[in-house]
Amino acid sequence: MLAGYSTVSSKAKIKGLEKIDRLFNTYANSSLGMIDPEGIEALCSDLGVDYTDVRILMLAWKLKAEKQGYFTQDEWQTGLKALGVDSLSKLKKALSDLEKEVEKPSNYEDFYTYAFRYCLTEEKQKSVDIESICELLNLVLGVQFRPQIDSLIEYLKVQNDYKVINSDQWINFLRFCKEISFPDLENYDATQAWPLILDNYVEWMREKHS
Amino acid sequence: MTMNERKTIDLEQGWEFMQKGITKLKNILEGLPEPQFSSEDYMMLYTTIYNMYTQKPPHDYSQQLYDKYRESFEEYITSSVLPSLREKHDEFMLRELVKRWTNHKVMVRWLSRFFHYLNRYFIARRSLPPLNEVGLTCFRELVYQEVNAKVRDAVISLIDQEREAAYYSRKAANWIVDDSCPDYMLKAEECLKREKDRVSNYLHSSSEPKLLEKVQHELLSVWANRLLDKEHSGCHALLRDDKVEDLSRMFRLFSKIPRGLDPVSSTFKQHVTAEGTALVKLAEDAASTKKAEKRDVVGLQEQVFVRKVIELHDKYLAYMNDCFQNHTLFHKVLKEAFEAFCNKGVAGSSSAELLATFCDNILKKGGSEKLSDEAIEETLEKVVKLLAYISDKDLFAEFYRKKLARRLLFDKSANDDHERSILTKLKQQCGGQFTSKMEGMVTDLTLARENQTNFEEYLSNNRNANPGIDLTVTVLTTGFWPSYKSFDLNLPAEMIKCVEVFRDFYQTKTKHRKLTWMYSLGTCNLIGKFEPKTMELIVTTYQASALLLFNSSDRLSYSEIMIQLNLTDDDVVRLLHSLSCAKYKILNKEPNTKTISSTDQFEFNSKFTDKMRRIKIPLPPVDEKKKVIEDVDKDRRYAIDASIVRIMKSRKVLGHQQLVMECVEQLGRMFKPDFKVIKKRIEDLITRDYLERDKDNPNMFRYLA
């Protein structure tokens, strides 16, 4: 009896996994054994989203993808199972739910930190160049904090104290948007532990508007 | 027991009961929490006396009761009233007396009521003083007798104080309008002296301080601001006109009133700061008329500036003694004033550099300061004192070290004793670490001389090792001396042998040390066979190397020289300039312009001559300023890093502001770290995984072991 039961469920499991795996193989690079950037582009086009869309980043986050531009089979399986999808159409629907999931305060910071890590493509890389950071900021925070992000990006592009941004600075950008009133910046206190780049940004802003 | 039968009250019993009532009364008078007498209380007490009085003998206690009445007062006065009066004086004693007298009258009234029955019969029969009188007489005999002299004095002194206060209040109001500050102060001082004499003559000595206080208040406290602020004669004016005597009087007078010295010291601080800032401006203005190319060089005006600051310091130090009785408040504001303007640079040179250059001028041969030995010692002492006000002490140390190196290596030090003396003073002021490298440098020179003797011995013992040129080598311990860029100068052949010989010699002494040759610091004596006459030229090794090229070529271009010497453009331009465009033209330059350009051609000037047989051709040093500042900034970054790590290692978790504060404090002896730089270092240390930001509180940092 028991054996029969488990056979049924494992058959069901196998069936479910089968569909996920089949979906995986549609996009995977067979010699690599994983989905590569080309595959992701194809996936995006099938999903009807631009491959620079933030939802793809969210998908990567959900999949806990380690390497930018690649999905391993494990990541694919775990991720799609977590999403509860096993087909392209279901995945497409799940993307909009995913947005809501990410926006939950308990997930948001995790996603935000993940976004930075995802950009560390070289081994032992600890910081990301300014250009990429600006793009990432726009992608990840642009919708929610449009005025701050536009202004901050403008500053990052004109300043030349920093050529790269590290994770500590990155996490403080989010904190800045959340905590500091804008555009007056009244409650910003440079004697606190804000990263120097933000002190400089605030100074620049204040000078601009004086 | 029937209604008519009364139990006999024994005296002891009855008095015990009365005592309770008297104690209750005393408590009420002393202000203790005690409910008032009720009608029942009163009746019981009255009746007890009545009964004891009307009892049949031998239980009729009238006399005893009368005596006990009086004793009640005596006991209370002796045990409570007098002690409390004795411990008080003057006004307080008077107040206490009034209170006690009022209490006493109440006590008399109440006790008379309890003992009233005695009044009615016993007293009249025996012609005794009534109860009232007894009570009052107790007070007179016990209290009044004792305190009346004191009371009189206290009253007189109170009256006097009021009178005096009124008198001086009127006078002061007139004087403040008519008199200048010095005159007013003279009058005030006179008045106080007079009062003091008067009081000591006929009032109780305890009145003196109170009386003088009142007079001081009327004369000084009331008018303090108006007096000090008088436009042409107030504190500011007295400082301006150096009125030492008036200022001393001002200090004496105002030190006596509460917070009296605050406005004086604050005006003093403003004045000193203004004078110092004026000196800075003067120097800046003089410097702005300097020619552009000399802008970054510390020149005469800056020297004059330092001199003037020293003079200013001397002047106000004297004031500390002569006017302000070395009061700590004035020392404090003097320090603050000097710190305020001493840290302003002049014409692009920081005060640290100015002081170092000033020292250099005193200590070097042919310096601009020509002073006697004593004067030099004194001046050095004063300069070191000024250093206490400079916040960038590490910058001073580095400039000083650079200049010391030049003095030592180019034999420009005028006097060894002075060199050592100033190092001792700097050590005393700033600690051993400040001077350890400099001391090492001085020691190196002494050792170098010994070493040279050994080298010469070695040469005489090894004939074939002789390089054919007299060679003196100074070996420097790397850590002590400033860092110099060493370039791979292509040495002339003659000198190459020198280097090899010395290297061999040095190997015989130690095998574990590496020699790095600093040709930029060497000097060379050349014999120049000029047509008019042969002359000796004292030049640097660089200059010598360039000149020796002309032994094998008549004419060389700039680029040929540069390639052959293997030096940078900067060095080549400098040295060629010194040989062809300066005072002594050993080389002829084509075209004969005043500056060196890369297309110039050079020729040996065989016609060169001078009235002297031996001349020194100076090579102006590269301006070290930028390098010094760079080096110091680098050292500061390391120092801040080390300080942050040290603090975090011991505290494990610390808030940002706290960390910054402790860091500033730790490093304060040598320099004032910039907040932004500290922040940058913290960020750097986070990147290098020494620290991390706390997950929950972004303003806190954690040490990562």
Q: Check whether residue B293 and residue B309 sit in a common domain.
A: yes
Calculate the dihedral angle through the C-alpha atoms of A174, A176, A179, A184, rounding to the nearest 10 degrees.
-140
DSSP A157-208: HH--S-SEEEHHHHHHHHHHHHHS-TTT-TT--TTSS--HHHHHHHHHHHHH
Tens digit of each residue's pLDDT (9 = 90 or more) over B413-431: 888 889 999 999 999 988 8
CATH of the domain at B250: 1.20.1310.10
Tens digit of each residue's pLDDT (9 = 90 or more) over B134-143: 999 999 999 9
Closest residue of B to A197, CA-based? B680
Considering chain B, what is the average pLDDT of its residues?
89
Band of pLDDT at residue B380, cut at 50, 70 and 90: very high
Q: How far apart are the first and last CA of chain A?
A: 81
pLDDT for the residue A53: 87
Q: Which residues of A touch B690 (CB under 8 A)?
A: none
Tell if the pTM clears 0.80, that is, is over it.
no
Looking at per-residue confidence, does B425 or B157 come out higher? B425
Q: Check whether residue B669 and residue B538 sit in a common domain.
A: no
- Ordered structural domains, chain A, with CATH: 11-103 (1.10.238.10), 106-209 (1.10.238.200)
Q: Check whether residue B248 and residue B283 sit in a common domain.
A: no
Whether the CB of A170 is below 8 Å from some CB of chain B: the reply is: no
Per-residue pLDDT at B231 exceeds 60:
yes
Q: For residue B291, which phi and psi values (nearest 5 degrees)?
A: -70, 150
Whether the CB of B680 is below 8 Å from some CB of chain A: the reply is: yes
Alpha-carbon distance B168 to B174, whole Å? 10
pLDDT for the residue A5: 46
In a domain, residue B40? The reply is yes
pLDDT for the residue B316: 95
Q: Check whether residue B156 and residue B169 sit in a common domain.
A: no
Find, among A59, A17, A18, the residue nearest to A35 by Cα: A59
Q: Which residues of A touch B656 (CB under 8 A)?
A: 191-193
Tens digit of each residue's pLDDT (9 = 90 or more) over B263-306: 999 999 999 999 999 999 988 888 877 666 565 566 777 888 99
Q: Check whether residue B642 and residue B606 sit in a common domain.
A: no
Distances from the Cα of A81 to the Cαs of A19, A35, A75, B215, in angstroms?
Answer: 11, 17, 10, 95
Looking at per-residue confidence, does A15 or B249 come out higher? B249
- Residues in chain A where the model's pLDDT stays below 70: 1-16
Alpha-carbon distance B475 to B517, whole Å? 9
Q: Which segment, A96-105, A107-116, B155-164, B361-370, is predicted with the most confidence on average? A: A107-116
In a domain, residue B691? The reply is yes
In a domain, residue B393? The reply is yes
Per-residue pLDDT at B324 exceeds 80:
yes
Q: Check whether residue B404 and residue B273 sit in a common domain.
A: yes
pLDDT for the residue B369: 60
Cβ pair A199:B701 closer than 8 A: no
Q: What is the mean pLDDT of residues B64-70?
A: 90
Q: Scanning the structure block, which residue is given the tokens 């040759």? A: B517
DSSP B641-655: HHHHHHHHHHHSEEE
In a domain, residue B367? The reply is yes
Closest residue of A to B660, CA-based? A191
Query: Which amino acid, one-letter code, is at A124?
Result: K
pLDDT for the residue A12: 56
Q: Check whether residue B253 and residue B110 sit in a common domain.
A: no
Distance from CA of B704 to the nearest CA of A (A): 15
In a domain, residue B463? The reply is no
Q: Check whether residue B18 and residue B138 sit in a common domain.
A: yes
Domain boundary among B161, B189, B207: B161
Q: What is the mean pLDDT of residues B604-610?
A: 93
What kind and span of H or E run contains B691? strand B691-693
Closest residue of B to A125, CA-based? B687
Q: Check whether residue B151 and residue B169 sit in a common domain.
A: no
Tens digit of each residue's pLDDT (9 = 90 or more) over B3-57: 455 678 888 888 999 999 999 999 999 889 999 888 888 888 888 888 888 888 8
The number of folded domains in chain B is 5
Query: Using only C-alpha atoms, what is the Rg of chain B?
Result: 47
Beta-carbon contacts of B264 under 8 Å, excluding residues fewer than 6 positions away, are B228, B235, B250, B251, B254
In a domain, residue B509? The reply is no
Closest residue of B to A175, CA-based? B698
CATH of the domain at B580: 3.30.230.130
Beta-carbon contacts of A206 under 8 Å, excluding residues fewer than 6 positions away, are A185
Tens digit of each residue's pLDDT (9 = 90 or more) over A33-92: 889 889 899 999 998 888 888 888 999 999 999 888 899 999 998 888 888 888 888 888
pLDDT for the residue B356: 94
Q: Which segment, B201-205, B342-346, B461-465, is predicted with the most confidence on average? A: B342-346
Contact B13, B20 (CB under 8 A): no
Cβ pair A168:B656 closer than 8 A: no
At how many degrees (to 10) do helices B244-254 and B261-288 cross?
140
Distance from CA of B277 to the nearest CA of A (A): 29
**Which of A84-98, B209-223, B317-331 has the lowest average pLDDT?**
B209-223
Q: Check whether residue B383 and residue B304 sit in a common domain.
A: yes
Q: For residue B409, which phi and psi values (nearest 5 degrees)?
A: -75, -30
pLDDT for the residue B204: 59
In a domain, residue B475? The reply is no
Per-residue pLDDT at B366 exceeds 80:
no
Cβ pair A193:B656 closer than 8 A: yes
Beta-carbon contacts of A86 under 8 Å, excluding residues fewer than 6 positions away, are A16, A19, A20, A23, A80
Residue from the list A126, A169, A192 with its beta carbon closest to the beta carbon of B699: A192
Q: What is the mean pLDDT of residues B371-379?
A: 88
Q: What is the mean pLDDT of residues B298-316?
A: 88
Whether the CB of A166 is below 8 Å from some CB of chain B: the reply is: yes
Domain boundary among B257, B283, B312: B257
Tens digit of each residue's pLDDT (9 = 90 or more) over B456-495: 988 888 888 788 889 999 999 998 998 887 778 999 888 9
Q: Is B689 left (phi over 0), alpha (psi -120 to 50) or beta?
A: left
**Which of B40-49, B115-124, B310-319, B428-437 has the lowest average pLDDT?**
B115-124
pLDDT for the residue A3: 45
Q: Check whether residue B251 and residue B298 sit in a common domain.
A: no
Whether the CB of A168 is below 8 Å from some CB of chain B: the reply is: yes
Q: Check whether residue B294 and residue B362 sit in a common domain.
A: yes
Cβ pair B693:A168 closer than 8 A: yes
Helices then strands (H, E): number in chain A? 10, 4
Whether the CB of A199 is below 8 Å from some CB of chain B: the reply is: yes
Cβ pair A193:B700 closer than 8 A: yes
Domain boundary among B430, B459, B474: B430
Cβ pair B679:A172 closer than 8 A: no
Helices then strands (H, E): number in chain B? 29, 9
Whether the CB of A192 is below 8 Å from some CB of chain B: the reply is: yes
Residue from the list B660, B683, B698 with its beta carbon closest to the beta carbon of A196: B683
Cβ pair A168:B680 closer than 8 A: no
Cβ pair A192:B701 closer than 8 A: no
Pair of tokens at residue B342 = 């001493």
Q: Domain of B617?
A: 522-622
pLDDT for the residue A164: 93
In a domain, residue B577? The reply is yes
Angle at B207 between CA B203 and CA B213, to 5 degrees: 130
E strands in B223-301: none
Pair of tokens at residue B183 = 């005159």
% of chain B surpassing 90 pLDDT = 52
3-state secondary structure of B203: coil
pLDDT for the residue B127: 85
